[in-house]
Amino acid sequence: MRSTIYLADTNVLSELFRPRPDAGVLAWAESVPLVCVSAVSVEEMFYGLALKPNSRIRERLEEFLASFCECLEVSEVIASRSGQLRGGLHSRGIARTQADMLVAATADVERLTLVTRNVRHFEECQIPLLNPFRDGD
C-alpha cells in the first residue's frame, strides 16, 4: 500500500527543479513522504531535458525519481480509462491531449489526488485536484 495519495503532474515536478521554486509547491512537496508520478510525466521531463540539456538538472531529477517518487506505469486499464475520458470529453466538444488524459486516468484508476497547476485541464475528469502554486490557477 502506498504511503501517499498524490500524483504530481509534470508542471509540479518541473517546478521543483527551478532555481527559485514556488513556495507553495515546495511546502506541499515537503509535506508528503513520497510523490507518485506517471510514466507520462517522466517522459515529458526527459523530453524537455533533451531539447534543453542540463546535466545538473538531469542528475537531480534522476536522484529525485529514484529516492522520492513512485513511478506509475501506463497499464491497459489506465490506457482504456484514458481513452474513455478523452473520447467522452471530445464528444462534448472539449479537446484534451493524450498525455493529460493518461495522467488523469492514472489518478482515477489509482484513486489519487492530482497535484497540478493546470486544474482547468482536468476539471471535467471527475478526479480530486490540488493546486499547490501560491498564485492559484
Domains of the chain plus CATH, in order, are: 6-73+111-130 (3.40.50.1010)
Buried b (16+ CB within 10 A) or exposed e, 64-83: bbeeebeebebeeebbebbe
CA dist 105 and 87 (Å) reads 12
66-92 tens-digit pLDDT = 999 999 999 999 999 999 999 999 999
**In the chain, which stretches have pLDDT less than 70?**
1-4, 136-137
What DSSP designation does 59 have?
Answer: H
Give the residue carrying C-alpha cell 471530445. 90
Concatenated DSSP letters of 75-118: -HHHHHHHHHHHHHHHHTT----HHHHHHHHHHHHHT-EEE-S-
- Enter the pTM of the model: 0.92
